[in-house]
Amino acid sequence: MPSLLHRDNARSKLFTRRLAILAGGQLTLFGLLIGRMYYLQVIESERYKVLADENRINLRLLPPPRGRIIDRYGEPLAINRLNYRIVVIPEQTGSVPMTLDVLSEIVPIGDNDRRRILREVARKRRFLPVTVRDNLSWDEVSRVAVNTPDLPGVMIDVGSTRAYPYAAELSHILGYVAPPSEADLTGDPLLELPDFRVGRNGVERIYDLALRGRAGTSQIEVNALGRPIRELARNEGEPGHDLVLTLDLNLQRFAAERLAREEKSVVPGLPPEERSGAAVLIDVANGDILALVSVPGYDPNEFNKGISGPLWRSLLSNSRTPLTNKAISGQYPPGSTFKMMVAMAALEAGLATPELRVSCPGFLEFGDNKFHCWKKGGHGALDMVEAIKQSCDVYFYEVARRIGIDRITQMSRRFGLGHTLGLDLPGERAGLMPTREWKLATTGVTWQQGESLVAGIGQGYVLATPLQLAVMTARIANGGFAVTPHLTRDLIAGRRLAARPAVSFPPVGVSQQALAIAARGMRGVVNDPRGTAYGARIVDATMAMAGKTGTSQVRRITAEERRVGLRKPSQVPWKERDHALFVGYAPVDNPRYAVAVVVEHGGGGSAVAAPVARDILRAAQLRERERPEPLLRVAEQPPDRRS
């Protein structure tokens, strides 16, 4: 009996221990569960709330409105316009190919667009919209809207696109915008938005970051499949700055139209040819560029839309090079417009005086070579002012022989030739002012003295851009101050005006006597009956101009051609004709504007370029009387800064 009781007690103790162990394990597990629940729901609650919101809320970037570009009077040059586009939502249409077939009968849909649409439909979720066509005209929008009941899944969407109201006249200044390339992608998600554009050329490129602005955000609630349900919050971001240029739109358009207009055909019986050239109008006091023209131009709107292959190839193959900004990238022999540099170099070196007289029989013999004057019979004996006035080549051959190429180049550089001027546009070129060292390093051949004679009339190795010629003229006109050109006047952000600070320009380091001789010669060129541009003068004395003609050869004239007589322009291929040049300033007594005009293969400077320059200078002075004050104060800004 005791042994049986002992066994029962042992079993009871064993059961009690096991029960205690089981209860302890359950309590431990329950404690761990409670602790884990506390950790997740209390300590980590904020983290999981954020994760839940990330699954529920999509944060989408909103492209900011690009800043406008306006002229000095507030006229819009580059704006943002509504972009009407057709989108299709695949899940709402029975068959996307059939829908496109019907839609193509209403608006044109090319084969390339069709393939793109079908690729995007296959790649995206079926509830996401796919763009079919954008930049629709109002007529196309109306036709689609009328037929939407028969086009399930098709709708009109509205976005924003860059637009240039004055396309060809301003294409080389404004440039254009285009979708970012692979090289542009820096990790900024804004650059990956379908509608986002970046500056590709012109001031659109130089001031791209300021014009872009900052992206906005939109918080969209979505379901488990990612389908949008509603918008929870929206931040429009910060629009881009408005950019104010120094340009005067009226003068820019006038100069472009006047430069492009051929007065008469070179070849009898054929219509006038399309002109190719450049013109620059600058304020001689502060360097404001009022007009900067290169013709022919192109339509930058085509690049924003997506330029077609045939159009791109036609622009590249055009012999008039419409894609090149000739005003800052075209490099031309300056011809006789360069003679003031030679005259001042001689005066400053003390190797010639204004009274120096040289006899011109129509040529100068130097060694075994004969250097011809443009006037076959010669000019007779001339002093320096008369030589500039009548553009005597023989006079400047002799002066260049005395002073040498290095002194000519040193003087030219003071007036802005032979180096870039830092204009706020891409593509500016330096031209060329040769030296002995340059030729030896470049060609391995020493400088020949005969090359100095050719450089003395702006030919040979000497090259300059129209912008440089305008700056050279401005520095002569303003009394010898090294004015530098610029295109931008202000950056406007909201209601703040960040104006360009006033700048005082240093003197170029040339005596007033030398400047006065150059100015007297230029005045006589236009206003003396013996001057080469007398026929292109401004008759109104209050607006009279001074200037200098130039005709630069693009090929060498052979001795045989001189013997039998030069061919008429109509007998010479366009590419072999001389360039026509003119530089000038006005009004003569109180200079305000300087201009340079180059007409590629246009012929004589006095007959072709001088009338263009005259009309531009006259228009600038008339414009000043009409509207003398540019956009300067915040109060003058329109209340709505966006288009």
Domain 60-245: give its CATH code.
3.90.1310.10
Tokens of 248: 């005067």
The domain over range 249-626 is classified in CATH as 3.40.710.10: yes
Residue 503 · residue 219 · CB < 8 Å: no
**Which stretch, 207-216, 294-303, 583-592, 627-636, has highest mean pLDDT?**
583-592
Predicted confidence (pLDDT) at residue 638 exceeds the cutoff of 60: no
Predicted confidence (pLDDT) at residue 49 exceeds the cutoff of 60: no
Where in the sequence of the chain do the CATH 3.90.1310.10 domains occur? 60-245
d(CA 396, CA 392): 7
Q: Provide the H-helix boundaries in 124-248.
A: 138-147, 167-174, 202-206, 208-212
pTM value? 0.82
Q: In this predicted model, what pLDDT tens digit does every residue of 504-536 receive, in sequence order?
A: 899 999 999 999 999 999 999 999 999 999 999
d(CA 600, CA 332): 9
Please name which of 483, 552, 482, 549 lies closest in space to residue 522, comparing C-alpha atoms. 549
Cross-strand bridge partners of residue 133? 86
Burial of residue 406 (number of CB atoms within 10 Å: 0-12, 13-18, 19+): middle
Reported as a pLDDT band with limits 50, 70 and 90, residue 643 is: very low
Beta pairing class for 242-245 and 69-70: parallel
Crossing angle between the packed helical segments 466-477 and 512-527, to the nearest 10 degrees: 110
Contacts of 523 (CB under 8 A, 6+ apart): 546, 588
Residue 134 · residue 107 · CB < 8 Å: no
Q: In this predicted model, what pLDDT tens digit does every residue of 209-268 receive, in sequence order?
A: 889 888 777 666 766 655 566 766 677 778 888 999 999 999 999 999 999 987 655 555
* Mean pLDDT score of the chain: 84
d(CA 580, CA 277): 9
List phi, psi (to 5°) of 585: -145, 160
Neighbours of 333 (CB within 10 A): 25
DSSP 456-515: TTT-TT-BB-HHHHHHHHHHHHTTSB----BSEEEEEETTEEEEPPP-PPPB-S--HHHH
Please name which of 491, 501, 488 lies closest in space to residue 240, comparing C-alpha atoms. 491
- Quick one: how far is CA 145 from the chain centroid? 38
Tokens of 130: 């796919």
Q: Known catalytic residue: 45?
A: no
Reported as a pLDDT band with limits 50, 70 and 90, residue 632 is: very low
AA letter at 227: R
Residue 445 per-residue DSSP state: S
Where in the sequence of the chain do the CATH 3.40.710.10 domains occur? 249-626
Choosing from 294, 329, 336, 552, the catalytic residue is 336
